[in-house]
Every structure is written in C-alpha cells, then in structure tokens.
Structure 1
Amino acid sequence: MDILLAIKAIIMGLVEGFTEFLPISSTGHLILAGSLLNFTGDKVKVFEIAIQAGAMLAVIWEYRQRIASVATGLGSDPKQRKFVTNLVIAFIPAALLGFLFNETIKAELFSPVPVATAFIVGGLVILWVERRHTGDKHVARVESVDDMSPLDALKVGLAQAFALIPGTSRSGATIIGGMLFGLSRKAATEFSFFLAIPTLLSATAYAVIKERHLLSMADIPMFGLGGLAAFASAFLCVRWLLRYISTHDFTIFAWYRIVFGIVVLVTAHFDLVTWAE
C-alpha cells in the first residue's frame, strides 16, 4: 500500500475513534478531514463507515464483563432480557429510517457546508439542554441503564435517528436526548455506548455488502489500518469520557461545535479553504 494512503487511513481512523463517542459528530469530522486530506470518493465513504467497527470494538472491550453477563444470562435473567429488549427498541428507528433515506442523505448532506450547519445547530441544542438542567436543578428520573423502560429506550432511539443527518452526532443525539428524557448523564452516556454496538455493526455490514463492487482485496490494508487506529483512539476516548462526565457537563463540546462550524462556513464562503464536496 502507498505510504501516503496509509497515513491518510491512520489519520482518518484516529479522527473516527476520538470523535465517535463524543457529542461532536464523527461523521462530520471524517467528511471535513477527508476533504482537507483530499481523501474523498465513493470508496472513502464506505471506508468512513467501515472503520466505525473499530471504534465499536473498543466499547465491547471496555464493557466485556457486562456483555458476557448479558450473553450468559439472556435466557434466565429478566434484567438482561430487559436490557437487550431496550437496545433492540432503541436501534429500530435509526435502522429503519437509514434504510429508507440513506441514498438521499448521502447525495444531499454529505458535504462540508451542511455538516458545519449541523455542528452549529447541535451545539445550540446542547447548550439549551445543559442550561435547562442547571436552571431546573434537574434530578434524573433514571439513574442506571437497568432502570430504563421500553418507552425510555424508544425515545433515545428516536433521538438517535436525528444523527442520520451528518454533523449531528450519534452520541450527541443519544446522550443529550437521553438527558432531556430523564436519564442521568451517566446512564445516557453508557446507553449510548451500548447502542453503538448494534448501530455501528449493522451500518458497517450494510455499507460493505451494498458497495462491495467498489472494493477489492487490495483495500484490506487500508481498512485494517483505519480500523486499528479507530479502536485505539476510541478506547482512550471512552475511558476518558467516563471520567470526565463524573464532574463535568457537555458545554465545552457545544462551544467547540459552534466555533468549528462557524470556521468551516466562513472559510467556505470566502474561499479560504477548498472544501471538497
């Protein structure tokens, strides 16, 4: 594999891993990073989705004991069955809408300016939710993922569907949506992590199978490097975020989104940066 291509694949993997579980949109950052690196095209879109599997594996490793408990207790433990049922319920809305509107979204919204706009809007939503929690002296109704009802799961699933818009952020939609619907910050964050497993796995499988005509055996090293970089960076990010949320809110991520989005819009408007479509 070409050295320059390998470097680009690693950079994209690092971007994916560091942004997948933060409320700042991994897809949006990948689109912008790919534009700056001149790493674009239909095959790259498949690559960007496929390396999410690397980030997903970081969550599986971090929560391997809980996942093992779910697997062994699914047939006999009502708590584990309820947990899996909630994940299935939360997974369905985005999966269904993604299947129906995937091509339209890719054609119309997978470009820097719509992504930057979504960055800004998402940042404003985060600020509103955090201010609402502070002003109301908010007390969470659901403290643990095990306390969630099927209706709670459905609400989070509907929030995740908004993340089909590039730049919105899957983790941001599920975490902030969960908090808005009464989940504690920790419960919303952990459920977002668990929900990433079926969501990212199905997205990866669907993209690779659907676009397999674009791929060849020669692409395996590129996908492997990107996935490995995504795993390593996501592993570090997940552990850091779990510590961070114990004493901080998400306001800093909101301002980051807003500033970053404005920078992209300004540079695009004045042709200071040539953002690839």
Structure 2
Amino acid sequence: MEPNTIIAAVLGLLEGLTEFIPVSSTGHVLLAGRFLGFESPGRAFEVVIQLGAVLAILGVYSTRLWAIFSSAPHDPASRRFIAAVLLAFLPAVVIGVLAHDIIKTVLFETPILIAVMLILGGIILLFVDRWAKNPRYFRAEDFPLSMAFKIGFIQCLAMIPGVSRSGATIVGALTLGADKRSAAEFSFFLSMPTMLGAFVYDLYKNRDILDAAALGNIAVGFVCAFLTAIVVVRWLLGYVSQNGYALFAWWRIIVGSVALLALLAF
C-alpha cells in the first residue's frame, strides 16, 4: 500500500472521529496532514471526505428523517423543522461561496491560526458548558426559526479551520437556550445540508486538478470517515447528556497547545 494511501486512511479515521464532536475535524486533519507530509490538490481531500461523515448521519438517522419528511405534507411541526434547518444552512451557502477562495488558499494554509483557534475555542466551550444553565429547549425540533437562523450565522465562524462546525453550532445553541443533547442533535441535522453543499461545491471547484491518485486517496478517506463517524454519532448524544462538553474543551486546548509549540519549534 502506498504511503499516501495509508496516510489518507489515517486522516479519514481522524475525520470520522472528530467531525461531530466540537473539536474541529478540519483543524485536526489539516494539522495531522501537515505533520505527516500529506498534500492534496486544492485541499479537496480535507473537504470531500466529510461526505463520509454525512452518510453516517443519514444512516443513523434514516428512520427519524423518513418520519419527518413523510409527515411534512400534513404536519406543520415537521415542515417548520425542515424550514429551520434550511434557514440555518442559508448563511453558510452565501458566505461559503463568497469566501471559498480565501478559506482554501489562506486560512487552510495557516497552521498557527488553526492551533490558536483550537485553544480559544476550547476555552470558550469550557466556559459555555459551565455557564449555560436553565435551558428552554430540549428537542431540536422545537427550536424557533429565529434561533435556527442565528445558529446558522454562528456556524459560519467554522469556516476558519480550528473553530469547529459542530463546536460553533453547539455553543450557539447552548447560549440561545438549548440543552446539551438538543444542541448536539441540531448540529447533526444542520451538518447534512452544510457538508453536502461543501462537498458538491468543492468537488466542482477542483474538478480539473483531481487526478486518479487524488480520487483514490479521497475514496479511502471517505470510507474510513464513514465507518468511524457511525460509532461517534451513536455514542455522542448519550455522553454529552450525562457529562457535557468539558472533555472536548480540554482536548482542544491540549491539542492546540501541542501543535502550536511544535509549529513554533520547527
């Protein structure tokens, strides 16, 4: 097996393990890729393998998704929830398209920024996890449209690698009145259109520079991300309901600090 293929598998496993926990999967994959000497054309690998994690969510939530969409024609609550997710997705569409080139050519190529964002995000997550009390919403389906739209704007902060898409949406939901479980669950649902959109757009933008080797690495990373994300999604809701997000906050701070020291030293 080629060295790059092995690294692609490792990065895919890392993507699946970190996509849905608030630690920044993109930040982890970019930093690990840098230290392992992995290069991907147009940084497409780091974005496209996220579709594996999306498919994991679709698989785990297939029954619930079917219930929501099949009942939508006659159930106002289902229609409102679909509208809430799409409304939360809208800011990422606009800002993601406008800022795509800056994100990929500047932010993705600034590892010190990624490490700093991991540390700062961990500090914020630790504070919010302890401070956010007396939640008003205990089901993702009950989030008001205005709240969903605000979460969508907060999610856009994750276009800075190291911030974390799930971390931004979870912190946003917690500060707006969600409990810890529903915050994670809304992040799951919002990830579906967000990451699917990122996959399609990034694949389109990089269609001319992806060769067979790059596509092969993407396929390996995709499969590994799918398999590990299934495990994480099934475990995460139960864990955060009982324990909160402090573990992930400290993980961010430790990983960001180690990465920052390594980058400054070498």
Whether these two folds match at TM > 0.5 is: yes
Structure 1 unmatched ranges of 5 or more: 272-277
2:45 to 44, 47, 56: 47
Deviates more, 1:153-162 or 1:65-74: 65-74
Aligned identity (percent) is 40
1:248 matched to 2:243: yes
Shift of 1:202: 0.5
Deviates more, 1:103-112 or 1:119-128: 103-112
In structure 1, the partner of 2:84 is 86
Q: Residues of 2 paired with 1:265 and 1:219: CA distance?
A: 28
1:189 matched to 2:187: no
1:119 matched to 2:114: no
For the aligned residues, what is the CA RMSD? 1.3
Q: Residues of 2 paired with 1:177 and 1:204: CA distance?
A: 24
1:205 matched to 2:200: yes
| Structure 2 counterpart of 1:174, one-letter code | T
Q: Residues of 2 paired with 1:205 and 1:107: CA distance?
A: 18
Kindly report which structure 2 residues correspond to 1:93-242, keeping only aligned pairs within 5 A, or say none: 93-110=91-108, 111-133=110-132, 138-242=133-237
Specify whether residues 6 and 248 from structure 1 end up closer, same or farther in structure 2 by C-alpha distance, changes over 3 A only: same
| Structure 1 counterpart of 2:100, one-letter code | N
Structure 2 unmatched ranges of 5 or more: none
Structure 2 counterpart SS, 1:151 = helix
| Structure 1 counterpart of 2:54, one-letter code | M
In structure 2, the partner of 1:27 is 26
Shift of 1:246: 2.0
Post-superposition Cα deviations, 1:186-243, rounded to whole Å, max 9, x if no partner, equal 1111110010000000000000011100123454432221111000010011111112
Q: Residues of 2 paired with 1:164 and 1:34: CA distance?
A: 18
| Structure 1 counterpart of 2:15, one-letter code | E
| Structure 1 counterpart of 2:124, one-letter code | V
Q: Residues of 2 paired with 1:219 and 1:259: CA distance?
A: 31
Structure 2 counterpart SS, 1:245 = helix
Q: Residues of 1 paired with 2:210 and 2:257: CA distance?
A: 35
Structure 2 counterpart SS, 1:247 = helix
Q: Residues of 2 paired with 1:35 and 1:261: CA distance?
A: 14
Shift of 1:74: 2.3
Matched residue count: 265
TM-score, normalised via structure 2 length: 0.96
Structure 2 counterpart SS, 1:213 = coil
Shift of 1:42: 2.7
In structure 2, the partner of 1:274 is none
In structure 1, the partner of 2:15 is 16
Deviates more, 1:212-221 or 1:94-103: 212-221
